[in-house]
Structure 1
Amino acid sequence: MFKKMVLGAVAAVTLAAFAPAAAEDAPRLFDPSNRLTRPDLSGLPRLRFLTTLDFPPFNFADNSGRAAGFNIDIARAICRELEIKAKCELQAMPWDELDVTLDGMRGEAIIAGHRITSALRAERDLSAPYFRFPARFTARTDFDVERPDMSSIALRRRVAVVEGSAHAAMLKAWFPDARAVPMRDMEAAYQALRDGDVSLLFGDGVAIAFWLASTASDACCRFVSGPFMSDHFLSPGMAIVMRQNSAGLSQAMDHALSKIEENGVYQEIYDRYFPLSPFSDIAPARTPPAGIGQEGEAQRPDETG
């Protein structure tokens, strides 16, 4: 259950050799005035994180075959913050083995790209969201933004969006005066934008950011306005998954996540894997996330959980 799928059939993104990106603050996830207490984990014999290796830049095998990625570094930062590094382990496996391994008591937490859904909440304990996926509009670099808000910019414009996707539903609900142009997948949407068949593209900001920073885009395009967030259409974000009745552990996860955001560790990890922030309006700077090499995919977890 809870299989990871690609929402909107996000295509593979080719990453070339780039120069470092300008720093861009990651969006805040925790209220800094809300101090979360750290529970006593002295009785915890082990904290084994379960993950996969097929979801770059979040979790993947690096050039030496070792587990790497945003999620992997977050897990390690959690262990350091909780001062249980000696008890922490990481095990990678196929996506469809994660739940049975967790239920079989052979792991304590899954950090592999689960999006928060009502169905997942009903069956698992979850951490607070530690990453959110924004929706973004993208246009060619010569697109002239004459109006102050996105509703006016998109008015009667042809907007490429993947047919049947959450972004297509969001575009229809939030920007009803835009002229949606359904596409079979993101690659077709990218091509339509490059060729000038549409004025705008609307889709997942993470996937689009990697495309903009790649040679595949040929520096044709840029973000326009946004980012746009929606718990209803895009979910509250990704969470760490635990067995039910893991209140002490989930509280510890939230404490650690809030602390690494406060002390800047989260920002360091974020900068490492997102050369062009999906929340940014800066021009793409061309540098691949550490360890990914020349090929990477910007994918999304399954919207339905």
Structure 2
Amino acid sequence: MRIGIMGLGRIGAFHTETLAGLDAVGSLVVTDPVAAAVAAVTERFGATGVDSPEALLAAGVDGVVIAAATDAHPELVLTAVKAGVPVFCEKPVARGIEESLEVLRAVEGSGVEVHIGYNRRFDAGFMAARRAVVSGELGALHTVRSTTLDPAPPPPAYVAASGGIFRDCAVHDFDIVRWVTGREVVEVYATGGNRGAEYIRAAGDVDTASALLTLDDGTIAVVSNSRHNARGHDVRLELHGMKDSIAVGLEDRLPLRSVEPGAGFPAGVPHTFFMDRFADAYRAELTAFTEVVAGTRASPCTVADAVEASRIAEACTLSRHEHRPVRLEEVCA
């Protein structure tokens, strides 16, 4: 099949390399506003470079991967859907919840599959956790803990345009909590603080945050995030049930140091970057997209799924600013 890639920044170039190595992908067509980025990718992977999204769609692509800046997502998604081309789009659907809902309404009933990129759904540990919940082996859940700690904050320009830590970082936790538990969030209480980079505070954001989520069956989920985790990139999930408890990310590359006498765990080199931690998941995610393009599976993460994660992020942002619990029904739906 012939796949198009719109946007060749850090994640777009990474996706291009992954797609070039998939057996199902026969050729690539790429575009980016930066001509040098297009030239670099075409030279390295033998892709066809074009000068616009319209030219890319006219090149006979079977599917499109959108890895452009967030502000461009809605227009690019809708342009591809209008052309009848299946879409993989990196999260989020749009910068704001209202615009995300507009995209959702536009794609519903189109008959065109849209797959939003939440890569943790394709990580082996998170998939095993979901199977454990679905099988009932944990019993009824009572507590969920989801953690995302970055080794260092992103640059000031990124922070200023990110929409805040809940919309940019914690949204991965919100999506995976929904997906693994199969439950919906009904209420949140969120807080945050600044202990590091001053430019994060100046942007009106926080560098460390926590959110307490109440799920629709009464399960409590605790989400913890930080831009400052000097030991490495720490992504974990704990599920505590009436019959058993399990953890994702509790392995030798966990960036955490035990001070228990004689403890030798974790013994490996800590993860330092999300592309390192989730390299296999990204490959599985794009492999799944080729199956979506081939028509052998439905989107494994729909626009509706992504909108729900964004609603939780909006509720947490409001909760932090107003210092109060927020019901999800307060956020437009």
TM range (shorter): under 0.3
The structure, 1 or 2, with the larger RCO (C-alpha pairs under 8 Å, 6+ apart) is: 1
TM-score by length of 1: 0.27
What is the TM-score normalised by the length of structure 2?
0.25
